[in-house]
Amino acid sequence: MPIADKYEKSQEALDKLNADIFNKLKKSVLQEAIQGRLVPQDPNDESTSVLLERIKEEKAKLFKEGKLKKKDLVDSVIFKGDDNKYYEKVGSQVSCIDEEIPFEIPANWEWVRLGTLYQHNTGKALNGANQKGVAYEYITTSNLYWNYFVLDKLRSMPFTDEELEKCTVKKGDLLVCEGGDIGRSAIWNFDYDIRIQNHIHRLRPYVPLCSLFFYYALYLYKHIGLIGGKGIGIQGLSSNALHRLLLPLPSIAEQERIVDKIEFVIASITRR
């Protein structure tokens, strides 16, 4: 028994060491990827400025249809000045945001606010005074983990038609925890819809994007302290904080190449 106990403790220590090594390697791979160093840039890719123009046109269309507020039409344009510092222009106001930039990115990428790319909102809060509507199952932060969901023992609460529009998640939506393990994220890849409660953000891109790239960006931000960390880290993810989160933006084609490479490298590490 003493030998068995010693072996068991040694195996536990080895398993922990392997997990630590894997997590460090994964973080290193993601740092290379999100900073634009994992795959080469292709000059034939569509310019990010063209992508941002398509998003602007889609926002204008949604505003005309009454599906977007006027404040969401105000452009945020981030650029490098002659002094090599980063600036942001919102409407007619220009301010230096150099201290917010977490790392350098390739010259053909752009820094954008998350709210430029994604329409986002939280779900419904369950309370005794808000009992109108039809009962539907919903998920909470306890169902949402890094890149997967646990969907047993779902509870139900009533949703009105208006609340359903705001709180329903569709295939491809990126979900982010507002509280608990702040920033924990996963993409809803099921062929059926689900509802969310108020501590989950639903992110839906204005135009098709590779949301897995931005999932990996959020994962990296969380694990290097840019979300829920100290210093410049965001301590909580209110709607405003999430809207203002800075993200690197490569072309869609490069987003997809990066995700393919990330998953190939991580699978290679796992096999070893």
16 pLDDT above the threshold of 70 = no
pLDDT per residue over 105-141, tens digit each? Answer: 999 999 999 999 999 999 998 877 778 899 999 999 9
Mean pLDDT of the chain: 90
The b/e string for 53-83 (b: 16+ C-beta within 10 A; e otherwise) is eebeeebeebeeeeebeeeeeeebebeeeee
pLDDT per residue over 189-241, tens digit each? Answer: 999 999 999 999 999 999 999 999 999 999 999 999 898 754 444 556 889 99
What pLDDT sits at residue 269?
82
pTM of the model: 0.89
The b/e string for 208-234 (b: 16+ C-beta within 10 A; e otherwise) is ebbbbbbbbbbbbbbbbebbbbeeebb
What confidence tier does 17 reach under pLDDT thresholds 50, 70, 90? low
**76-80/86-90 β-pairing:** antiparallel
Q: In whole angstroms, what is the distance from residue 173 CA to residue 168 CA?
A: 10
Nearest to 157 by CA among 186, 198, 189, 191: 198
For the chain, the domains span 5-271
Query: Is domain 5-271 annotated with CATH 1.10.10.10?
Result: no
